[in-house]
Amino acid sequence: MVLRYTYPVLLCILILMHGRSGYAVKDEIFLENETKISHHIKSAEVGLFTMDELLNFHAGQKLPIFFPIRNLSLYPPFFFPPKYQNIIPFIKPAAMFNLFKVPPSSPKGKAFLGTLYSCDSINGETTKICATSLDSMLGFVKKAFGPDVDFKFITTTHPTLTTPVFQNYTVSEPPVEIVSLKKVPCHPFPYFYAVYFCHTDLNYETRAFKLRLVGDGSEDEVEAVVVCHLDSKNLSSDHLVFRMLGVEKGSSYCHVFRQGDIVWIQKQTSGGGVAAV
């Protein structure tokens, strides 16, 4: 049976991605006229796994999972309409809401305020940035990788999915690791124009995988990017990861990147490769 949802399940995924100390955004700003997420949702349904679970996935295995569709009214691309090209990013909230005619008390307005406050909290940090243009994102990524390093991005793709769907998927093949000495994840934040939160922290080791899935009955093909954090000690003790996976603080955990979230990795070299994808 195929069930259709919008953003209650997406909320859970966003918490996993953004819920670390220092840049958490309030849960309720991501809701779009929906009720709070159910406490009975299983971890696999929102793309959350232990490392052991992920490494044991095999061809033919069934996974019930939800893949949200990116809402461009909340997460626009890097493009400014001509009349907005001279706007200075993150000007006073009142001016922004008046300019774009968005009520601050609306779900969209609350989401935008959350981004504004979150980005303001990381102002001046060297390992995090709220990029408001492709140039600023690439500048941050170049600095993270260092000079003379070629890089590219990977992301979850599901070209045939047009509506957020929770359904059963069949694993096409075991997960394929994406090997890169450094990784820079970037997540779109809801705002009036494109804002990507990018971060890099060499103190916390990660592994990345591609997981190919096919929807049962629908034949929807998904190539999901899964990022595994090998140490969860930077998460708060009551984080959703520990409650849903039943693991202790410090344990590894893996989560599927949604459409729109990207990971910058080093390109494969002619001598054998840095990124095996």
pLDDT tens-digit readout, 137-149: 999 999 999 888 8
Structure tokens at 147: 């000079």
Structure tokens at 235: 């998460």
Position 68 scores a pLDDT of: 77
- Which phi and psi angles does 35 have, rounded to 5°? -80, 170
Strand order in the sheet with 151-155: 128-131, 195-199, 183-189, 262-266, 151-155
- Please give the single-letter amino acid code of residue 172: S
Structure tokens at 25: 């955004």
Q: Say how far apart CA 170 and CA 148 lie, in whole Å.
A: 40
- Which phi and psi angles does 164 have, rounded to 5°? -55, 120
Nearest to 255 by CA among 203, 219, 198, 209: 209
- Tens digit of each residue's pLDDT (9 = 90 or more) over 5-39: 333 333 333 333 333 333 333 322 232 322 233 33
Q: What is the pTM of this model?
A: 0.77
What residue spans of the chain are helical by DSSP H? Answer: 8-18, 51-55, 93-100, 107-121, 134-145, 240-245
- Tens digit of each residue's pLDDT (9 = 90 or more) over 215-236: 888 888 899 999 999 888 888 8
